[in-house]
Chains A and B, each alone.
Chain A
C-alpha cells in the first residue's frame, strides 16, 4: 500500500491497539461470529461520495471524457480526523471514493465467484463494487465493528443483482479463516477469485515502543491470514482461478515508522511470486497490487502520524492521495480471464512516487 507513506491498504481488519481494548473487541468478535455471519441487511443508504469529483467518464454522445488527474479529487490539507482502529470510512472527510457512483462494468467477470477480505472499505470495497458490476458474485469479510461500512457494500452488490455474502470475523484466528473460506464457498456455490486485501497498519516511531501484541496482530492479519485462506481454498479452486494480494510501495521502500507493516508487505510481494510458480502449472494465477498513498480508513486509524494524515499524498506528483476507485480496474484486470499471461506480477498505482 502505501508507500511510504502510507500506504494504503485497505483497512480492514486490524487489531487492536491496547490490550484492554483487545480483550473487549475479541469478545465482540467471538460473539458476533457465533451469532452468525451476515445478518440481514436492510437496504442501506449509501453515503454520497465526493460531489462532482469522480471517475465517471461517460458523456452524452458516447465518447469517453478526458480527465485531468491533478484536479480529479480533493487535495490536502485534510481535517484532523483520528479514529480508533479499525476506523470507518463513512466517517471520513472527504469520504473515500470507492467507485460507488462511477464504476461501470462490461461483463468482464460474469458468473465469477469472489472472496474479498477487508471488503467493507478502501481498496477491498472498491474491488467488491467493481467485481459486482462486472458480473461477479461477491463475499466480503470485515472486522465486526465495521458492520456499518459493510452494509453499504452489501447493498451495492445486491443492487447489481449479484449474490452478496457478508462474513464478519477476526482474521487473526486460523479457525475463523477456515470458516471464512467454507462459508464463502457454500454461499457463492464455489470460488474462483480470492483477494487477500485486509491489512493492519500502525505507525510507531520507535521499535522500542512496539509491543509484542501489536507486532503479532500485524503478522497474523497480513501474513498468516492469507496463508490460512489460500491453503483452505486451494482444493476448491478451478484452473483459471485468480489469487490477488494487496501489497504496497512499502514492500520496496519502507517508512521508518512502519517497521512491522512494511515487512508484511514485502512478504506479500514475495508470496505472490512464490505461489505463482507453485500454482502456475495448475492454471491458477497469483498477482499483487501495490498502491501508493491512498485515502483509506487505514491511514486515519493509526496507520499514519497525524501530520502525515493531514498532508496525506501531497508528496505525489499529482499533489494528492489516490482514491480507492482509481485502483479498482487493476483488481478487475488481474482477476479477469483475459489477463491469462499475468502471474507473479505486481501492478502499482502510486501517483509518480514509489515502486514498483
Chain B
C-alpha cells in the first residue's frame, strides 16, 4: 500500500491551524507534498552517502509516486480540479543540493516534513467534509506514520 507522504516543511513552518479544510485545499497541499517528496527522494538517490538514507529516498519515490496517482484519480472522481502549480513542475530544492552534509539535511527535512504531513492528514481525516477524501486521508495515515517513525530512527542513528 501506498503511503503518502509528506513534505519538507518543518512542523510549524506551515503555521497551523490551517483555516481552510476544504477538500480541494487539502488535495492541493497533499499533491505538492507528494511531488516534493519524490523530487527530494530522487536527490537522495543521487547524493546520499549512507545506504539507509538512499534506501529511504527510494521508498519515498516509490510510495509518493503511487500516492500521487491515487490522489489524482480521487480528485477526478470527486470532480475537483487541481491547479497546475500543484500537480507538476516541481524543481529540485537548492537547499538540499547545496547542503554541506546532504544526508543530515535530507533526514532533518524528512523528519520535520513528515510531522507536518501527518498533522495535515489528521486534520482533514478529523474535520474534512468530503467523505471520500476523508476516507482516503484516514487510509493514508498509517503509512505516513510509518514513514515518520522510519526517518526518526535514521535521524537518531546518524546523530
Contact = CB atoms under 8 A, between A and B. Distances in A.
A63 B13 CA distance: 42
Interface in B81-118: 83-86, 89-95, 98-101, 104-105, 108-109, 111-113
Interface in A291-317: 302, 304-308, 310-311, 314-315, 317
B112 A209 contact: no
A77 B86 contact: yes
B10 interface: yes
Given A305-B9, A307-B33, A80 B91 contact: yes
A81 B25 CA distance: 20
Nearest to A20: B98
A79 B10 contact: no
B150 to A, nearest CB: 17
Secondary structure call for the A interface: loop
A311 B26 CA distance: 11
Interface in B1-40: 7-16, 18-20, 25, 28-29, 32-33, 36
A23 to B, nearest CB: 14
B84 to A, nearest CB: 8
A154 B124 CA distance: 48
B16 to A, nearest CB: 8
A205 B32 contact: no
A18 interface: yes
A83 to B, nearest CB: 8
B156 to A, nearest CB: 13
Given A79-B89, A205-B112, A209-B108, A310 B13 contact: no
B95 A308 contact: no
Contact of B93 (A4, A5, A306): A306
B142 to A, nearest CB: 22
Contacts of B101: 209
Contacts of A5: 13-15
A262 B55 CA distance: 35
B20 A206 contact: no
Given A77-B32, A307-B33, A84 B94 contact: yes
A186 B64 CA distance: 59
Interface in A255-290: 255-257
Contact of A209 (B32, B36, B83, B105): B105
Given A79-B89, A205-B109, A311 B98 contact: no
Nearest to A352: B19
A305 B117 CA distance: 14
Contacts of B13: 4-5, 203, 255-257, 304-305, 308
A227 interface: no
A81 B95 contact: no
B15 A77 contact: no
Contacts of A95: none
Contacts of A310: 32, 85-86
A304 B104 CA distance: 18
Given A209-B108, A256-B12, 17 more contacts: A4-B15, A79-B85, A80-B90, A82-B93, A205-B105, A209-B104, A209-B105, A211-B100, A255-B12, A302-B95, A307-B7, A307-B14, A307-B36, A314-B20, A314-B25, A315-B16, A315-B19
Interface of B: 7-16, 18-20, 25, 28-29, 32-33, 36, 83-86, 89-95, 98-101, 104-105, 108-109, 111-113, 159
